[in-house]
Amino acid sequence: MLTIIENLLNDEEVRRFRERLHAADWQDGAGTAGTRSIAVKQNLQLPRQDALAQELGNAVLRQLGQHPEFVSASLAEKIWPPVFNLYQDGGHYGTHSDAALMRLPEADLTIRSDLSATLFLSDPGSYDGGELIVEEQFGAQAVKLAAGDMVLYPSSSLHQVAPVTRGQRICAITWIQSAVADTPARALLYDLDQSIRGLTPERPKDDPEINRLIHIYHNLLRRWAQV
């Protein structure tokens, strides 16, 4: 299941991000590729220890932590520090899968990648190509979002970034360990929570049917969560 989180960053925040990243110390992204994916990865990245990457990454994490749509869709337990990447001049990332377990030595932390996320920072009209192509049960889906929007998708999916043939595609990517590892269970909880949120404004605060739905939601979460 692909989930679009719209306006994670507003226009002014996107503008500030792009201004800061314009003069960033971009380095060859092959340095962070696995032994097999290195052959299909051609992009630039900011090192995880880079001060600007950490500053902007923390700003993204703050937005994620307070965004109700992201919280509902991900049920995030742990989030990998966002990685900033740049594709240009034919840069691409061929079909690959994300590592199931990701080690963050400086935090003595291991994350199980349940969800992958891409936050688009470039105006989609400013570059050609660069679609994120995710292979799902019913076929491949190409994603190219407005600047400030994020897409969430299962880390178990095969995916790729199509070649950028004009302009620059700048994004932030991250991985999430969810409290509910099972993708279908997490999708059901998300649908139920969306229904509750959609119905609540039209009902009295003490509406028994809303309370029943909330009761069901939390009992399902209690059954499926691993914390």
Residue stretches of the annotated binding site for 2-oxoglutarate: 169
- Structural contact between residues 118 and 82, judged by C-beta atoms closer than 8 angstroms: no
Alpha carbons 146 and 153: distance in angstroms, whole number: 17
- Structural contact between residues 117 and 173, judged by C-beta atoms closer than 8 angstroms: yes
Alpha carbons 63 and 66: distance in angstroms, whole number: 5
Q: What is the DSSP string of 78-103?
A: EEPPPEEEEE-TT-EEEEE---SEEE
> In 3-state terms, what secondary structure has residue 68?
helix
The one-letter amino acid at 195:
S
- Structural contact between residues 159 and 116, judged by C-beta atoms closer than 8 angstroms: yes
Q: Would you list which residues are annotated within the binding site?
A: 96, 98, 159, 169
Alpha carbons 160 and 166: distance in angstroms, whole number: 18
Alpha helices in the chain (DSSP H): 11-22, 51-65, 68-74, 183-199, 208-224
Q: Would you list which residues are annotated within the binding site for Fe cation?
A: 96, 98, 159
Alpha carbons 40 and 159: distance in angstroms, whole number: 12
- Closest of 116, 114, 108, 123 to residue 9, by C-alpha: 123
